[in-house]
Chain A
Amino acid sequence: MLSKVFATIAVAITGSILLYGVSDFPAFGDPHSPANAGVPGSESVSLYFIEESYKDTKVPNLVTSVLADYRGYDTMFETVVIFAAGMAIFAILRVVGNKEEEVSREPVENSFTNGDHSRIIVGTTVRIVVPVIQLFALYVVAHGHHSPGGGFQGGVILGASFIIIALAENLNAALRRLSEQNYVRLAVVGIFIYALFGVMAQVLGRNFLDYGVLAPLLFTDGPEMARSHSMLGVEVGVAFTVTAIMFAIYANLSSRGQLEKGL
């Protein structure tokens, strides 16, 4: 009861402060608000992206170019956040060896695991659907330059394709396709690919993540296309890490860190 009173007071104070500020905002949808068009006397970042980023990077999807190039440093650490979350979950949950006296974890007898007919339907559907999901995931990763998509979205879809296998059959079936060792490796390799693009630019004498200088390495004729190609490269790296960690989080949570039967 006390916590409810406290919560109400906290919510009332915070909410009224926030609403008090709202009246000061530029109108919703105003294309000339400071956020959208900058303030007089300074160059607007957002307008720069809209007007110049295609010339700089040759990537039609502005979100991708801002995400992977201009704010690529953020995105790298976003990937590190995912990686750190995965590692934290392993550190918390992962049980090596079967030390604890766990209650018998026989799979629950129900129509999904037992009844042959249901199993056939679910299993066959998953078998048909998974390749399509994975193909679509690769499309989303690779087509991030031209349509909504990119490493995170594609990685999540790819991770989901493994999770659906674990749901339809069991966790071991999914782990046979992507084992624990391999998903850790995949996650590490993903960040490594990302960082490599940055470090290569440093090796060639520019700042971290300055993709433009990578043109000779990527066999492109100008810094713009080098940026475009490098963005694809880092998106692939992001997709690796996200795929691995999404599946790893599911695997660890669903089996309480034992990586055995799962749900």
Chain B
Amino acid sequence: MVDQIPALLVLAPLFGALLVALIGHRDHRVCFPIALASLSVTLIGAIAAAQHVFTNGPMDYFVGGWEKPLGIGIHLRIDALNALLLIAIATVAVLVSFFSIRRIGEKNAEKTHYFYILFLLLCLGLFGITIAGDAFNLFVLVEVSSLTSYGLIAMGSSRRGTYAAFNYLLMGTVGASFYLLGVGYLYLTTGSLNMQEIHAILGTNPEIAESKAVTIAFIFILVGIWIKMAFFPLYGWLPNAYSYCPSSTACFLAPLMTKVSVYVMIRVMISVFGLEWVFVSLGWSNLIVVLAVIAILAGSVLALAQREIKKMLCYLIVAEVGYMVGGAWLADEELWGLTGSLYHILADAAMTLCLFLAAGIFVKSFGARDINDLDGMFKKAPWVMAAFAIGALSMIGVPPTCGFFSKFYLIRGGIDAGHWEFVAALLISSLVNAVLFFRIFEIAFFGNKPAEGHDHGHDDHEAEEITIVRNEAPPAWSGLFPLLTSAVIIVLIGIFNGPIVALIRTFFEELPTVTLLHSTLTLLP
């Protein structure tokens, strides 16, 4: 039974979506239970898979039983690299499905079931991306997740959201096409689409690995994924798309889409090209770390300029993507940078979820979109604000939240690799986050200074969005439950950072090239 889990992870959301499509339009109340049931199945499956992976080693699943020769069929793989990410996706999906209960259906009640169909298909796409062991299959599932997210963003009622979805669609399709082109170059030179097989061919045929076509394949795959993850110069689609879409959509997309793309980048670096090829033959690590430093600084500065909470969080995502890309490319001897990057995928998913949920509740219950609208929020909604504070402290990097530990590992990698500019950028970004969030705390705790008043002059409010009534209703349990859970998860990931990092690092033991390359690879102290 356990060996069927990889198929189960994609089938459960698929059947959920089909069921909602079939009966959801009659009674919208059945949508949520179906979604919750199928997502719970995936959560249980993901946990079971992780347990299996960490006790028995990686799970390989050959769809259709086409195992030999490698690459004729589709290969799914769960190993130490993606097992924890699967749990993270499933957890975020379950929590967001709670959050979506009341939120969706307020403006477009008749479209509730479409939301759940797209939501479940998006989960399917993310699970499929994560377990894919075939380079082309990854493209297909990237498209599943992209198409559904275009739909989810555009189905909100704000017209800026519609336009943002269009831009996202253009950028996203170009990114996916670049990825496809890169895979084509790899197929042209190696004759295979299976990641393991490509890796083996590149490892045994140095003349292929050094060819121009393989380098260009890597460039296009990398740029394609960078567009998808909104790495700094290519981030243009993200802030508008995430801040003008419905809250429950933002709460799901923001924690997961960019993180899964970062995972894909790391997967391609390790499992397709191999770290030795990426770090030694190509040797671009210095250049890309510098790009990441620029991304971190630019994201922080742009976030500082925003007055709208969601926009500010969006630019912080851009900075966080810089953390992860930079960490993955540090190329330090003991791979602490890569470890930190993988740990930060989990940590950032939890932090972003918490902050976006809180921002969603501010809008929903208090009509507060702007930083200044948070006036006295500690008194009005102490629980929401407390969870927001935990998320914010984690963004700043205060122990024992997970944000501190991910920065700790990233900085350790940066010091080992001698990339002091990266270390400095991380510290500056922490500082900027501190300024940002303490400004919010001040407003929420002590109230607004009269001088700043209700300065809506340069807001980007849409006429129709302003009509949200400031009913100041207490937040519903469906919002509070996922929010508080995510805050607890932030602390838990932080406290249990040692075991989590140990689990992540079991993956590096399995890598023959790395042990060859870094003979000094040691596990946790």
The interface of chain A, by Cβ under 8 A from chain B, is 17-18, 20-21, 23-26, 33-46, 48-49, 69-74, 77-78, 80-81, 83-85, 87-92, 94, 96-97, 184-185, 187-188, 191-192, 195, 198-199, 202, 206-212
Contacts and interface: CB of A to CB of B under 8 A. Distances in A.
A210 B67 CA distance: 11
6 contacts: A36-B191, A39-B205, A74-B136, A90-B114, A195-B15, A210-B65
Given A208-B11, A208-B63, A74 B191 contact: no
Contacts of A40: 205
Given A26-B188, A39-B201, A195 B11 contact: yes
Given A34-B191, A81-B140, A202-B7, A21 B185 contact: yes
B4 interface: yes
Contacts of A37: 191
Contacts of B118: 84, 87-88, 91
Contacts of B269: none
Given A77-B144, A191-B18, A39 B208 contact: yes
Given A192-B18, A208-B64, A87 B191 contact: no
Contacts of B190: 34, 39
A211 B73 CA distance: 13
Contact of A92 (B71, B143, B155, B200): B155
B470 to A, nearest CB: 25
Nearest to B165: A92
Interface in B114-151: 114-115, 117-118, 121, 124, 128, 134, 136-137, 140-141, 143-144, 147-148, 150-151
Task: Please give me the 3 A-B residue pairs with the lowest Cβ-Cβ distance, nearest first.
Answer: A88-B151, A91-B114, A208-B7
A202 B190 CA distance: 32
A74 to B, nearest CB: 5
Given A24-B211, A41-B205, A84 B63 contact: no
B22 A84 contact: no
Contact of A77 (B21, B141, B197): B141
A90 B25 CA distance: 12
A194 B132 CA distance: 20
Nearest to B110: A96
Contacts, number: 179
A48 B69 contact: yes
- Chain B binding surface SS class: helix
Interface stretch (B212-220, B301-309, B314-322, B476-484): B212-220
B213 A21 contact: yes
Interface in B30-82: 61-66, 69, 71-74
B154 A92 contact: yes
Interface string B188-201: 11111110010011
Nearest to A91: B114
B121 A87 contact: yes
Contacts of A81: 140, 143-144, 147
B11 A207 contact: no
Please indicate which of the listed interface residues A35, A78, A208 has the most CB atoms of chain B within 10 Å of its own CB.
A208
Nearest to A26: B188
Given A207-B65, A208-B7, A70 B72 contact: yes
Given A34-B191, A87-B114, A207 B216 contact: no
Contacts of A184: 21-22, 25
